[in-house]
Structure 1
Amino acid sequence: MSKELIMLGTGNAAARHCYNTCFLIRNEAEYFLVDGGGGNTVLNQLDAVNVSCKDIHALFVTHTHTDHLFGVVWIIRTIAQMINQKRYTGTLRIYTHDKVIHTLRTICSLTLPPKIQAQLDCGIVFHELTDGDGFTECGIRFQSFDIHSRKEKQFGFRATFADGTTLACLGDEPFNELNRSSVEGVDWLLCEAFCLYRDREEFSPYEKHHSTARDAGCLAQTLNVKHLLLYHTEDHTLDERKQAYTREAAQVFDGEVCVPDDLETVSLD
């Protein structure tokens, strides 16, 4: 089996020198998109990794913050246009919670032409999730969970591949103990790291309800995971980010630490 993460973006909301955090999960020849970043750059990122929107039929949206949602509007617009031009086969299935659905419908109704809006609930279908709901896409079993955000309703998920490999996406906020059963012991933990612990006074991660690379490493060690992937970072230290974040998390975590750059592919095999 060939399975991998394709990181379209790795930056936080304010990042200007890398794209906002969003990624593809590839399982064999199928793609599952998670969030869309903050704009139409998501289309450029897809082009850069040689993935067409016509190959994307499933999408998970974590929450309504602009750096995760606005790119989804461009995915909807592009795929709806492709459907109208008969260049897209099947449906786009969007999995998310009620607030995201309401927000996307509102934005689309205010900004997209009627012929594009006409594909909502037709060629583009929303699947509303509640805490703990499961679904299967791309040969992967997903279980959603409410991350119990202090700022904005947000869902993460646990993904289980046919060979038993497990991956947990915590969204872009710190882990909540209420989700331990969904996350503990996974093979891959995807976790935000707003900055290095050494730089916490400069970037104030805790005031923004975010974590440092050291915090993420401590969490991964506590949860007994095998691989820790860090994303949603500041973009002031990109030249040294991979080495510095890896080094800091590895000081407190015995497993493998992965700090990908934009457009980097990470094998899950």
Structure 2
Amino acid sequence: MEQLIVLGTGNAMCTKCYNTCFAIDTGEGVLLTDAGGGNGILARLEAAGIAYSRLHHMIVTHEHCDHLLGVVWVVRRIATLMRSGAYDGDFRIYCHAGLVEPIRAICGFTLQKKFTSLFDQRIWLVPVADGDLLNLLGCETVFFDIHSTKAPQFGFTFRLPGAGRLTCLGDEPYNPLCEPYVAGCDWLLSEAFCLYGERERFKPYEKHHSTVKDACQLAERLGVPNLVLWHTEDKNYEQRQALYTAEGRVYYHGQLFVPYDLDVIRLSE
């Protein structure tokens, strides 16, 4: 049974939840995507019950601090386990080519040499290009440039072992140039910064983000049967699920998920 493990659901400046990041558990192993903005990722992985022994692949979508800085802590933790003989195999981090050296540099500035010496030995930074196809956890994974307006950013489509495809759009609005990668997917993971009714308060468009209405209209138009909304403001965190679901139902008639941190969503039976 494949599962989507929601580690964080908030935007960059959230304080009531963790920054948006997630893991896919295929049964064979765990694929981590992004790591939030700090060592809170360690607490989230622990609370989710994700054993590092099952974590050998990680995707980093882009350079923004709320997605990138937690990578340092994941590297440190796994390097510590490697050095103590408690981690078998290698750990691979996939990102666009322009992000390889920044990740290496940030780790170099903040971690001791005993940890960073494992780069290119057992910890690998793997550059990916638009349209690249790799096999992660036995699953076909296609990376694509989301054509970000702020910084280079890649999404991906992951073919689930059971059936269906899951597509991560990153944290910016959908670009029609990505349709070949998104069309026909069974699960769409989309940012939704705020309610459309609160767009004047949160100004999502100025931040290059979508509203619930925008994301739901997109999924409806593309015929996506399952939609997950996150990377949101957190001022309405306690009521967010009810509020976002109510607005989303007006525009989208598939299965809508507005998860809280540490929720688990079944991707197949």
Instruction: Tell me the TM-score range normalised by the shorter chain.
Output: over 0.9
**Aligned partner of residue 151 in structure 1, secondary structure:** coil
The answer for the alignment partner of 1:95 in structure 2 is 94
Aligned residue for 2:109? 110
- Which amino acid in 2 is paired with 1:158? T
- The one-character-per-residue Cα deviations of 1:55-110 (angstroms, maximum 9, x if unpaired) are 21000000010000011111011111111111110000111111221111111111
- Confirm whether residue 75 of structure 1 aligns to residue 71 of structure 2: no
Residue 124 of structure 1 aligns to which amino acid in structure 2? I
Give matches, 1:46-85, under 5 Å: 46-85=45-84
Which residue matches 2:233?
Answer: 234
SS of alignment partner, residue 158 of structure 1: strand
TM-score where L is the length of structure 2:
0.98
Root-mean-square deviation (Å): 0.8
Identity of aligned residues (%): 45
SS in 1 for 2:13: coil
Task: Find the counterpart in structure 1 of residue 143 from structure 2.
Answer: 144
Give the aligned partner of residue 246 of structure 2: 247
- Moved segments of 4+, more than 3 Å: none
Tell me, which stretches of 5 or more residues in structure 2 are unaligned? none
Cα distance in structure 1, aligned partners of 2:48 and 2:107? 27
User: What does residue 169 of structure 2 align with?
Assistant: 170
Using the TM superposition, give the Cα deviation of residue 162 of structure 1 relative to its aligned residue in structure 2, in angstroms: 3.0
Letter in 2 for 1:143: V
Q: Which residue of 2 aligns with 1:27?
A: 26
Contact 2:173–2:191 (CA under 8 A) maintained in structure 1? yes
Shift of 1:137: 1.1
- The aligned residue for residue 261 of structure 1 is 260
Aligned to 1:197: 196
Q: Distance in 1 between matches of 2:105 and 2:20?
A: 23
CA contact (8 A) 1:194 1:211 kept: yes
| 2: CA distance, partners of 1:107 / 1:68 | 13
Distance in 1 (CA, whole Å) between partners of 2:140 and 2:152 is 23
**In 2, Cα distance between equivalents of 1:194 and 1:136:** 31
Find out whether 1:120 has 2:119 as its counterpart.
yes
Instruction: Kindly state the Cα deviation for residue 247 of structure 1 after the two structures are TM-superposed.
Output: 1.4
| Native 8 Å contact 2:2 2:162 kept in 1 | no
Structure 1: gaps (5+ residues): none
Q: Any conservation in 1 of the 2:30–2:54 contact (CA below 8 Å)? A: yes
